[in-house]
A and B are shown apart, each in its own frame.
Chain A
């Protein structure tokens, strides 16, 4: 069974930092690119970041560029999102997900973790 389990969310003050983790199992983690996608309360989906299977290439949304850093540990099947200089508009449920574009199958989503940025 494929599982993606996010953790590390919580309440944080504006300007603060937080690191999200995503533990993957049930598939060949090191062979897949990964994404973070977020969803503000009652809103739609927003793509945040992408990382290549070997972790050497990343792409970020403009809204988080320079503040968020995605990384991965293929030896431990872990994905991370280091978030700094957090703003109230970063409040959202954050999902880790595989969304392969070039093939079917292998599209998995975690259950999401809530990050609330508020004073």
Chain B
């Protein structure tokens, strides 16, 4: 299985400051078709998850442009340029290149 390792697991951030979450896969996430199926999801307290980013760097409709994804192969990053109060929650990377799909452990972003 592709093991997804996120860091840090806890991320205290001051309002208006940037934040960065790393996600590393135990194997390359480049699909045989050439695409890389790496997603970022956000789960706010008490809510269901929602997808922010698909295929490494593509924002879902309605996701603020302060969120950006980057990376390739086995190393990926989610960045928030200026954290807002509504960004508090847990962020997960998820790969869909290999069966079974797997998630990272989650990174809890706390607003200071």
Binding site for B on A (CB under 8 A): 35, 37, 44-47, 50, 59-62, 95, 97, 99-105, 107, 109-112
* B interface residues, tally (CB under 8 Å): 29
Q: Does B100 contact A45, Cβ atoms closer than 8 Å? A: no
Give the chain A neighbours of B58 by CB distance below 8 A.
104
Tell me whether chain A's interface is mostly helix, strand or loop, or mixed. loop
Secondary structure at chain B's binding surface: helix, strand, loop or mixed? loop
Report yes or no: A45 in contact with B48, Cβ–Cβ below 8 A: no
Closest to B102 in A: A47
10 residue pairs A–B, Cβ–Cβ below 8 Å: A44-B105, A45-B106, A47-B103, A95-B49, A97-B49, A101-B55, A101-B97, A104-B59, A107-B60, A109-B49
Which chain B residue has the least Cβ–Cβ distance from A110? Answer: B48
In the assembled complex, which residues on chain B have CB atoms less than 8 Å from the CB atom of A46?
103
New A-B contacts (16) at CB < 8 Å, excluding given A104-B54, A105-B61: A44-B103, A44-B104, A45-B103, A47-B94, A47-B100, A47-B101, A47-B103, A50-B101, A59-B99, A62-B100, A95-B49, A97-B49, A99-B94, A107-B54, A109-B48, A109-B50
| B residues near A109, Cβ cutoff 8 Å | 48-50
Q: Is B51's beta carbon under 8 Å from chain A? A: yes
